[in-house]
Amino acid sequence: MKLFGAIEAGGTKFVCAIGTEQGNILEKVIIPTSTPDETLAQVIAFFKDKPIQALGVGSFGPIDPNLDSPTYGYITKTPKPNWSDYNLIGVLKQHFDLPIGFDTDVNGAALGELNWGAAKGLSSSLYITVGTGIGAGAVIEGNRVHGLLHPEMGHISVRRHPDDNYQGTCPFHGDCLEGLAAGPAIEKRWGELANTLPVEHQAWEMEAYYLAQALVNYILILSPEKIIMGGGVMKQTHLFPLIRQKVKEMLNGYVSKAEILTHIDQYIVPPLLGDNAGICGGIALAIKA
């Protein structure tokens, strides 16, 4: 049986795992994200002497995923203290003489869900996480989306909700999607954590308004066959019907497909892999490597 290593590198924790070609997780450990030296020492200790064929890394960003770039494998300019311009893949290569796949955590999760999760059997999927930040990754016609850098779909501009006066939390753009709809924006706008707000609170209609706008943009630009929404905020499952209804209203019949018009509850869905979407994405990146 071939074994593969996976790292889901997050701003608060690194999840490391060993898995199979079928995406089954056999062993997993969670390491708090502290300084690069401290964190990577524990990561390296976990994988040392493990009989893996390859390693896959899905990381918080921004990152440089361009193989031809002199800073390939780096976490680039990030607000996470101590991690800017850090050569993550370079450090791993010093310890492991293996193929190493590298991408954003959300591109990895999109690939994992395409291989073994909610988008299995399709050729395209979009995965969006709504939590401490907002990020989205896409696999289109079997290929992860890259370009000048990689998608930063959490930072698109959205129209203001008519009742929203909150200035936004994003240190770069203020009231971009992340600045208005990520977990910290909900908390600061309403003075409570998202998971403590009641279902009937006006926060949820506003949240759905912003997230639906984003999904409409992604649908019109990328045309994914499935949209998967994860992250801590999306654990408030009452958001899904609100978002689906607003997506239909905003598209207004323009995308004339049954997936939108009659089966939208099967089109915009939570991750089938649950909290393992990201780490299964790491397994998928390792297999591709």
Query: For position 78, what pLDDT does the model report?
Result: 83
Query: For position 148, what pLDDT does the model report?
Result: 86
Take residue 26 and report the two structure tokens written for it: 């056999």
Tens-place pLDDT, residues 35-69:
999 999 999 999 999 999 999 999 998 999 999 99
Tens-place pLDDT, residues 84-125:
999 999 999 999 999 999 999 999 999 999 999 999 999 999
Tens-place pLDDT, residues 180-218:
999 999 999 999 999 999 999 999 999 999 999 999 999
The reply to whether CATH 3.40.50.1970 applies to domain 120-270 is: no
Are domains 3-107+275-288 and 120-270 of this chain identical in fold? yes
Q: Does residue 8 surpass a pLDDT of 90?
A: yes
Return d(Cα 112, Cα 152) in angstroms, integer.
Answer: 19
Query: For position 31, what pLDDT does the model report?
Result: 97
End-to-end CA distance of the chain: 17
Tens-place pLDDT, residues 11-29:
889 999 999 999 999 999 9
> May I ask the CATH class of domain 3-107+275-288?
alpha beta
Q: Where are the domains of the chain?
A: 3-107+275-288, 120-270
Tens-place pLDDT, residues 136-164:
999 999 999 998 888 899 999 999 999 99
Contacts of 109 (CB under 8 A, 6+ apart): 58, 127, 129, 137, 228, 230, 271, 277, 278, 280, 281
Yes or no: say if 281 and 108 are a contact pair by the CB < 8 Å rule. yes
